[in-house]
Chains A and B, each alone.
Chain A
Amino acid sequence: METAIAFWNILKKDIHNYYLKPPNISWGIIFPLSWTLMQLVRSPGNVEIIELLPGLMAMSILFGTTSMLAVTITFEKRSRSFDRLLLAPISISTLVFAKLSGAIIFGMVNAFVPVAFAANFADLSGTYWPLVIIAVFLIALTSALLGLLIAVSAKEVFEAQTFSNFFRFPMLFLCGLFLPIERLPGILKAISFCLPLTYGTDTLNGAIRGSSIFNTSFNIFIMLMFSALLFYLCHRNIQRNWIL
């Protein structure tokens, strides 16, 4: 019970202090929206919104979670308020799950902004929603873990910022968000298969447009593997870098 109170209050504080701040809300909404408009304006008539939707959702999650988590944790580490969390009589895993949950929830909410937008223009009746939710969750989970990994490796806020851009911008182009993976040259294709987002976007493609490269169970399995690996790396670095 005591752990639950601590968990819930850490989550609530993060949502209140960081995720609900106007700049972050607008970042989560405006960026995907303007990207969509850009795509539509560039090739009017040729692009179906439904074709863009999986990529947009993946992008919204990636941008909402990774850098948010990385930056807020580094910020709290810098101002030493993070010590309060480390001093609380809750396990480090509880603390980490509370921090991850905030980012995951924020990412998942962000993912449905483009959906709400697209629902006005496209027919989404063929979408298999349970799978969409699973895919959105797994993308949010892997992105949040990536953010956490950045947070435990970076010392300064600007480092965290730079690291997250270093990962997420290439991922925009390598993970099949807007360029089909089949069209990537050999080496880049190989890289894209090493990134969890590729499998998340593929799952979304399957659930929304009914066409995917891999089958769903394989995609989910790979994303769970990535989550386990990232979690292991985070755990190792936390033990090494948080308790000096």
Chain B
Amino acid sequence: MEIIRVTNLKKQYGEVLAVDGISFCVREGEVFGFLGPNGAGKTSTINMMIGLSRPSGGQIVIDGIDAVKDVKKVQKIIGVVPDENNMYGEMDGFENLCFCAALYGMRKAEREKRAKELLEHFNLAAAGKRPFRAYSKGMKRKLTIAAGIIHDPKILFLDEPTTGIDVESARQIRELILGLKEQGKTIFITTHYIEEAQRVCDRIAFIVKGRIVKIGTVSDLLNDAVRGHKLSLKVSGSLNAIRGELETRFQNFRLEFSDENSLLITSKEPVALYPVIQWLDSKGISVYEAREIKPTLEDVFVKITAEKAKVEV
């Protein structure tokens, strides 16, 4: 079931058309990724969905509520982690969390309990009494994320949650996202880390210059990007002498030789390995490693942006 539907959404800042008529939907319980380079319009899109900015055109419906007209109703059921860590510098971690909970009308006992739990969960318990301004960048990020989920929102918006923090903290945050998904929450996440999107997202929209250029499940996108199969072989002897022969023998493969001991096979069909190994063996060359090369979202992204550049020329 879809929980967010955005139709023909536009945002114009003076001369700049930051978001150029995008449409997409997010299904309940999924992690939906918004992936794009700097200035693509990710934050602008989020800000319109959460009510920090007014669309120049288009519709947003969140959980059956018109988010443009009735944004205060939407804000009850969403949590937001903005791109900047915007907690109160002069207040400590615990106070900050309790204050954020109070904004959602939570009672004192309940908000203090939640705040303690979250500080524990993010390993911030020891820093709970230190002012936010004295936190390290990673600690600030974690507290900002904790504040976004303190009222147990149904839908969570995360704007670049792992930018500027170390590998371990980023891993914790990805685990948290997957944990929330398991609880049935819907998560909308923007990022420019392709790998991160690949790890946590169910579906991804690529946004470039305010337009969605591709949208789909991670596996669809991957299959789409690299049609065919890639296999990398490492061999014992030198391939230099038999290159020509190899190419004539296996005409339906595309062969690349990066050095005399390696061979990269690209094929539309799955590659039958045995004939290759047998043939090479008959030439006195043995294969000691064969590895399938999997496409990454990066390939998808490179391909899409290259296509887009071609269209524009």
Closest residue of B by beta carbon distance from A80: B86
Shortest Cβ distance from B133 into A: residue: A79
Residue B51 CB within 8 A of the other chain: yes
Chain A 1-27 residues near chain B, CB threshold 8 A: 1-3, 5-6, 8-10, 13, 17
Whether A3 pairs with B52 at a CB distance below 8 angstroms is no
Select which of A9, A86, A89, A243 is within 8 A of B99 by beta carbon: A9
Chain A residue at minimum C-beta to C-beta distance from B72: A89
- The answer, yes or no, to whether A91 is at the interface (CB within 8 Å) is yes
| Contact partner, A90, options B72, B86, B91, Cβ 8 Å | B72
A1 touching B86 by the CB < 8 A rule? no
- Supposing A2-B105, A85-B103 touch, asked if A91 and B82 sit within 8 A by C-beta, the answer is no
**Chain A contacts for B89, CB-based, 8 A:** 79
Q: Is B223 on the interface with A (CB-CB < 8 A)?
A: no
Main secondary structure, interface of B, reads loop
Chain B, range 84-102, C-beta contacts under 8 Å to A: 84, 86-91, 99-100, 102
User: In the complex, what distance in Å separates the CA atom of A9 from the CA atom of B102?
Assistant: 6
Q: Complex formed: what's the CA distance from A139 to B205 in Å?
A: 54
Query: Is A79 within 8 A of B86, CB to CB?
Result: yes
Bound CA span A214–B92, Å: 51
**A81 in contact (CB, < 8 A):** yes
- B54 part of interface (Cβ distance < 8 Å): yes
Q: Is B106 close to A, CB under 8 A?
A: yes
B106 (CB) vs chain A CBs: closest residue: A5
Given contacts A17-B90, A81-B86, A81-B87, is CB(A244)–CB(B103) below 8 Å? no
Q: In the complex where A89-B75, A89-B76 touch, is A84 in contact with B105 (Cβ < 8 A)? A: no
Interface string of B287-300 (1 = CB under 8 A from A): 00000000000000
Could you tell me how many residues of chain B have their Cβ less than 8 Å away from some Cβ of chain A?
29
B87 to chain A, nearest CB (A): 7
The reply to whether A6 and B51 contact each other, CB–CB distance below 8 Å, is no
Which chain B residues border A1 with CB–CB below 8 Å? 105
Chain A interface category by residue count: 20 to 34
A86–B72 Cα gap in the complex (Å)? 9
- Quick one: which of A80, A86, A88, A91 has the most chain B CB within 10 A? A88
Asked whether, in the complex, the Cβ of B72 is within 8 Å of the Cβ of A3, the reply is no
Distance from B189 Cβ to chain A, minimum over Cβ atoms (Å): 17
Q: Report which of A10, A17, A79, A87 forms a contact with B75, defined as CB distance below 8 A.
A: A87
Given A80-B82, A244-B54: A89 touches B104 (CB 8 Å cut-off): yes
Kindly report which residue of chain A lies nearest to residue B157, judged by CB atoms: A87
Chain A: residues with CB nearer than 8 A to chain B? 1-3, 5-6, 8-10, 13, 17, 79-81, 83-91, 243-244
5 contacts between A and B (CB under 8 A): A2-B105, A81-B86, A83-B52, A84-B147, A89-B76
